[in-house]
Amino acid sequence: GQNIDQPTEMTATEGAIVQINCTYQTSGFNGLFWYQQHAGEAPTFLSYNVLDGLEEKGRFSSFLSRSKGYSYLLLKELQMKDSASYLCAVRGRNQAGTALIFGKGTTLSVSS
């Protein structure tokens, strides 16, 4: 089976740092993705990890440990516009081949 777990909700204040964790158990592994989704909009790509370690991209960093089935997304210097849902997704193996399978998402609320 396939299972991707992440916290449902998180809150933080402007300027702070927040870490969103994701654990996964999937059939096959071909990379882990993080997406940001604002209400009523399509997800937008944030990061991609296929090897263990940390990938940094501006205010956002993503970490992967394949042996532990674990990833996190780190957001620094939080801004109000970062309030959104953050989706952890794994490219595993589905009926057809390899598609992104999503977790339920973490709703992040940033307050001033």
Partner 1 sequence: GAVVSQHPSWVICKSGTSVKIECRSLDFQATTMFWYRQFPKQSLMLMATSNEGSKATYEQGVEKDKFLINHASLTLSTLTVTSAHPEDSSFYICSARGLAGDYSYNEQFFGPGTRLTVL
Q: Which residues bind partner 1 (CB under 8 A)?
A: 31, 33, 35, 40-45, 48, 50, 87, 94-97, 99-105
Write down the least CB distance from residue 21 to partner 1, Å: 16
Write down the least CB distance from residue 33 to partner 1, Å: 8
* 47 burial level (CB within 10 Å; 0-12, 13-18, 19+): buried
Write down the least CB distance from residue 96 to partner 1, Å: 4
Residues 13/111, Cβ–Cβ less than 8 Å:
yes
Nearer to partner 1, 69 or 105 (CB): 105
3-class secondary structure per residue, 21-33: EEEEECCCCCCEE
Nearer to partner 1, 15 or 57 (CB): 57
Residues 109/53, Cβ–Cβ less than 8 Å:
no
Which residues are registered as beta bridge partners of 87? Answer: 35
Nearer to partner 1, 4 or 75 (CB): 4
